[in-house]
Amino acid sequence: MAQLPDDRARQEVTALVEVTRMDPRVWPDVRDPGSVEEIREAFGRRCWIHYIPHAGAIEVRDIGSVG
């Protein structure tokens, strides 16, 4: 989060994480063939997260932002 460009991007990522946490199974599965992890992704207007659902919670694996 500290590497995001500004407070607005951090706020957007935080909001996206909260929405995703509320229902982590609604976002698409983006597993590579042969992967053992159930990596999914969710997108905001200027940001995205890659995460893994775990029993009603999520583990965020990657965060990104455009600009």
Q: Residue 49 has what pLDDT?
A: 94
Across the range 9-32, mean pLDDT stands at 87
Half-sphere exposure of 47 (CA within 13 A, CB side): 21
Q: What is the pTM for the complete model shown?
A: 0.79
Q: Cα(26)–Cα(34) distance, rounded to whole angstroms?
A: 22
Q: Cα(30)–Cα(41) distance, rounded to whole angstroms?
A: 7
Q: Tell me the per-residue pLDDT of 31-48, one tens digit each, with 9 for 90 and over.
A: 777 777 788 999 999 999
